[in-house]
Amino acid sequence: MAFALVDCESFYASCERIFRPDLKNIPIVVLSNNDGCVIARSTEAKKMGISMGVPWFKVRDSFLKENGQVFSSNFTFYGDISARVMNILEGFVPRTEVYSIDEAFLDLDTLKKNYDLYDFGCHIRTLVRQWTGVPVRIGIAPNKTLSKIAINEIKRRNAPTSVLHLSNKNQIREALKHTPVHKVWGVGRRLNDHLNAAGINTALELAEVSPQNIRKKFSIVLERTVRELRGERCLGIEDDISSKKQIVVSRSFGERVSNLETLKPIVSNFAVRAAEKLRHERQKCSQVSVFVRTSPFNKNKPQHTGMKTIELFTPTNDTRDILIAAKKGLLPIFRSGYDYAKAGIILNRFSDEQTKQYSLFKDPNEPKEDTKLMKYIDQMNNYETQVYYASQNTKRWSPMKQNMTSPKYTTNWYELPKVN
């Protein structure tokens, strides 16, 4: 009985290296949208002391002086490479769960009994590396929580093969002893503080508390974690990815925005994109929130954060309805005299596209809800043409600063890697 967790090493940085053989052993960082913060670091960059999430401007000079290579995020490319890795993993076992863009669980129960799981892990690692160029770590253990612990152990021990099989009680105990409790899957910062206060600092100490007590003092979720740390299996492979509960589209602006006429089309762009995502998920929403905020880094300027939620009588995924709601939400929260740095749209309260709920009263907004029209617009926008709504500005994400993006190597004919 075992699960494997396959975890891509410094995924975004590794992707950037696939078509740049000259970047071998060179420190790489990848930045968030608008080049704000560091969101991925190669091993070399980690060694330089660049921490996760640090604002780019704080480390830029020292990083570049050491000949580090920096990239704006290229999610089109990372998404394609991720899909390839997941596709390969699905070929190994019948049941897998894609947990994030760079992690997947594999159910190893279906393998023959006499299979050596460590060798199997090494085989997966070699193959993924050869086929895609992405290095992966593989943690194998009796359940999901422990397979996460195994990955942490690989990182801690700096194990050269990057594959670890926690196969017996002693190995598991040893690994738990070295894992701080906040690294346990599902233990967040706040829970960590509570646990520390109760004298629980390592995963092993957590595993030694009786599950019943944990349930009484904390929650049933943490009880499950404790049971898994003790070797029981409480969580299975989740094949059906439950549909999203919330859609957020927000960006920091490249330049500060202080007037409403500039802000409106930007927010409209976010609304259009959010509605597209909503239709992609085959959902409708009945709540649209708009928010704006100034930059917390701009300490000597006046600060303002505003948010407004608009309730819709009838659930919708028609872009025009979302646009009307977005505008309604933006007007009351905008204040002149502030330099806004970020805005966003949040869609909430989803219901299935198919189910139709008629309201007892006539909806005063009369939702448009023309599914066919939306479908055609989506198809056209996926293709070459672009259909815009009047309230948008025609440069989709502008104003956005992102200067250091690598080519779309695998998804654009004009940006293919070159060979001599």
Partner 1 sequence: MKVDYIGKISEENLPAIFVPYFLESVHAGFPSPASDYIESPIDLNKHLIKNGAATFLVRAQGQSMVGSGITDQAVLVVDRSIKPSHNSIVVATIDGEFVCKRLKLKPRMCLMPDNPDYPPIFINHGQELEIVGTVTAAINKF
- Please give the residue ranges that form the binding site for partner 1 (CB under 8 A): 19, 21-24, 84-85, 87-88, 127, 130-133, 379-380, 382-383, 409-410, 413, 416-420
Helices 144-157 and 169-177, interaxial angle, to 10°?
Answer: 60
Shortest distance, position 232 Cβ to partner 1, whole Å: 35
Pairing of strands 96-100, 69-72: unpaired
Nearer to partner 1, 64 or 387 (CB): 387
Least distance between partner 1 and beta carbon 152 (Å): 28
Taking the complex as a whole, the smallest distance from the CB of residue 382 to partner 1 amounts, in Å, to 5
When the beta carbons of 132 and 316 are compared against partner 1, the nearer one is 132
CB-nearer residue toward partner 1: 253 or 409 = 409
Look at the chain and count its residues.
420
Name the minimum Å distance from CB 97 to partner 1: 18
Report the nearest approach of partner 1 to the CB of residue 238 (Å): 23
Residue closer to partner 1 by CB (options 4, 85) is: 85
Closest CA to 111 of 103, 120, 124: 120
Q: Are 138 and 162 in contact (CB under 8 A)?
A: yes
Report d(CA 34, CA 256) in Å as an integer.
12
Give the DSSP per-residue string, 354-382.
S-----SS--TT-----HHHHHHHHHHHH
Measured from the CB atom, the residue of 177 and 396 that comes closer to partner 1 is 396
Shortest gap between Cβ of 28 and partner 1 (angstroms)? 14
Which residue number, 132 or 286, has a Cβ lying nearer to partner 1? 132
d(CA 16, CA 345): 30
Nearer residue to partner 1 within complex by CB, 133 or 254: 133
Integer-rounded Cα radius of gyration of the chain? 24
Measured from the CB atom, the residue of 82 and 225 that comes closer to partner 1 is: 82
Please tell me the distance from the alpha carbon of residue 10 to that of residue 12, in angstroms, as a whole number.
Answer: 6
Rounded-to-integer distance, Cα 125 and Cα 8, Å: 10
Q: For residue 354, what are its two tokens?
A: 């198919």
- Category of 369 on φ-ψ map: left (φ > 0), alpha (ψ -120 to 50) or beta: left
Nearest residue (CB) to partner 1, 302 versus 417:
417
**CB closer to partner 1 out of 132 and 402:** 132
Supply the angle between the helices 319-333 and 260-280 in degrees, to the nearest 10: 140
Distances (CA, A) of 275 to 271, 312, 317, 381: 6, 14, 6, 13
**Least distance to partner 1, CB of residue 21, Å:** 4
Minimum CB separation of residue 76 from partner 1 in Å reads 15
Q: How far is CA 231 from the centre of its chain?
A: 28
| Minimal distance, residue 253 CB to partner 1, in Å | 31
**In the complex, least distance from residue 85 CB atom to partner 1, rounded to whole angstroms:** 8
Which residues have C-beta within 8 Å of that of residue 332, sequence separation ≥ 6? 308
Q: How far is CA 308 from CA 108, 285, 288, 291, in A?
A: 48, 16, 8, 7
